[in-house]
Every structure is written in C-alpha cells, then in structure tokens.
Amino acid sequence: MDHDPSSSPLAFFIGEVKRLRDLAGMTQEQLADAAGYSASTVAAIESYRLLPSADLAECFDKALNADGHLIRVQKLVEKTSVLPWFRDLVKVERSATEIRMYEPYQIPALLQTEEYTRAIARANRPMLSEPDIDQGVALRKTRQEIFDHYEMPQVNTEIKPRLWAIMDEPALYRVVGSREIMREQCEYLISAARKPNITIQVIPNAQGATCAFGRAFEIMIARNEPLVYVEDIGSARYIRKTDEAARYLLVFDYLRAGALDEEGTINMFKDAAR
C-alpha cells in the first residue's frame, strides 16, 4: 500500500497518528497504554493491517491530545475506505449477539487468516489494485475485532458475540494461495473451534446436495431480531422481512443438522492440515 500520507484518507490518518505520537515522544507501547489498547493493535494500525474504528480514533485522539482531529479524519476514512453496504455490515456485526454463517466454497470471512484473505482478494485481480487488496485485508481484520483477534477494550467479554459457522468440505481442500497458507488456515480453524463462543461445523461431501444450493449467507441476530446479509458481485443486500429471514434461519438449522459434530469437524481440519 502507498504510505504517502497524501495518497488516501487512510494513509493520512496513519501518518497523523505517527506524527502526533512522535511529537508526544511516545512509543507504540506507550500509546497503547494511554489509549487502553494492546501494542499489537497500534502496530496493526500503523502497518495498514487494521482499519481504525470510531472508538479507536476517539481513544487515540484523547491519548495524543489531538482535539478531535483524529476523530474527524476517521469519519472520512470510513466513508472512502469501506463500501456503503460493508459499513452497514460492520456496524451490525458489532451489535449482534449471535452470528451464523454458511460458506460453500471458501473459509467463512470471520475465520480467515490474513494470508488466506489476501489470496482470496488477489483472485479478484485485475478488478482490484494492490492498494485495494491491502485495504480489503485490513477491513477483514477490522471485522474480526469483535472476536478479540486484536484486543479491543470497548468489547465487553460478557456480550462478545457467539459465532456459529458452517462450511462445505471443498472449502478446506481448494488450495487458496498455497499449501502452506491452507495449512496455517486449517491450524487456525482448529484453535478457533476450541473457543467457547465459536462453533464450526463442516458438511462432508458424502452428505450430497444441501438445501442452501451453494449460496453463502450470514445471519446476524441482535435483540432477537435476525438480519440476513447476502453478497453478490459488486453489491450486497439485506433481508429484514420476518418471513424471509425465517426461511434462512430454517435453512441454517437444516445445514447444521447434516454437518459433522465439533469433534468430527476438528478431525477434518487436522486431516486437511497434513
């Protein structure tokens, strides 16, 4: 990604964080302590691996005595770095108490490693430039904040969302990027599957056709109200109507009924990682 501060609002935001941190005589670790974030989060922001959230910008702004400057720039970053329907997705995911995902062809987005995400994004070239790919990877990591991949003090661990992800077996054996990337991805899935708020299941090939007809979707539940997200090439739509959303809930129930249990799923991850 172009690190010239004038190249984009995101580059300007990061350049300003570094400039203000230098003026304050702070290291990344000291800024992390002052802002209430982990040093890994500050490093991820400054290396373009994480997009700044509104909460993060506010905490950094206070720690650096920026008088609202970083808050204002973050709003511009959000408007220019994230497509409109993705902005809505990030907001809904952050407010959800439960997220259910089904993916037939690839690893579910919230469970992808950084290198797997980058390889997926590169498959979209030449439609995406290298800076666009970097931005897409950063956005994916930002979405994963809700599961504490980066420490996020604003997330109350008592209301951390529960993720239930289902994928088809071919997603594990389609080589995305390289065998090494797939090995690391499967090892990550094993560790994620053991977290108390994450359930992962695989539908084996032997199960045959599924009721989802190979159509990926995501259900986010907040205040007992489901919202369905379906992504297309270059666009996305949200399904809010109760009867239509209920059909997706029913389909998800059928999918998990036909999937391997957690132990069988982890064993499949281990086999795929070999």
Q: What is the pLDDT of residue 86?
A: 67
Q: Where are the domains of the chain?
A: 9-81, 84-273
165 φ/ψ angles, rounded to the nearest 5 degrees: -115, 135
What is the SS3 assignment for 218? strand
Q: What is the pLDDT of residue 139?
A: 80
CATH topology of domain 9-81: 434 Repressor (Amino-terminal Domain) (1.10.260)
Identify the CATH number of the domain defined by range 84-273.
3.30.870
117, 123, 131: which is closest to 181 by C-alpha? 117
Contact predicate 150/53, CB 8 Å: no
User: Rounded distance, CA 55 to CA 90, Å?
Assistant: 13
Contact predicate 154/60, CB 8 Å: no
Spell out the per-residue pLDDT of the chain, length 274, in tens: 556 777 778 889 999 999 999 999 999 999 999 999 999 889 989 988 888 888 899 999 999 999 999 999 998 887 766 655 566 788 889 889 999 999 999 999 999 999 999 999 888 766 667 777 777 788 888 888 787 544 445 444 445 789 999 999 999 999 999 999 999 999 999 999 999 999 999 999 999 989 998 899 999 999 889 999 998 877 789 999 999 999 999 999 999 999 999 999 999 999 999 8
Q: What is the pLDDT of residue 11?
A: 86
Q: Please measure the distance between the N-terminal and C-terminal CA atoms of the chain and give it in whole angstroms.
A: 33
Sign, CA dihedral 136-138-69-150, equals positive
Contact predicate 140/202, CB 8 Å: no
Q: What is the pLDDT of residue 13?
A: 93
Helix and strand numbers (H, E) in the chain are: 12, 6
Q: What is the pLDDT of residue 81?
A: 64
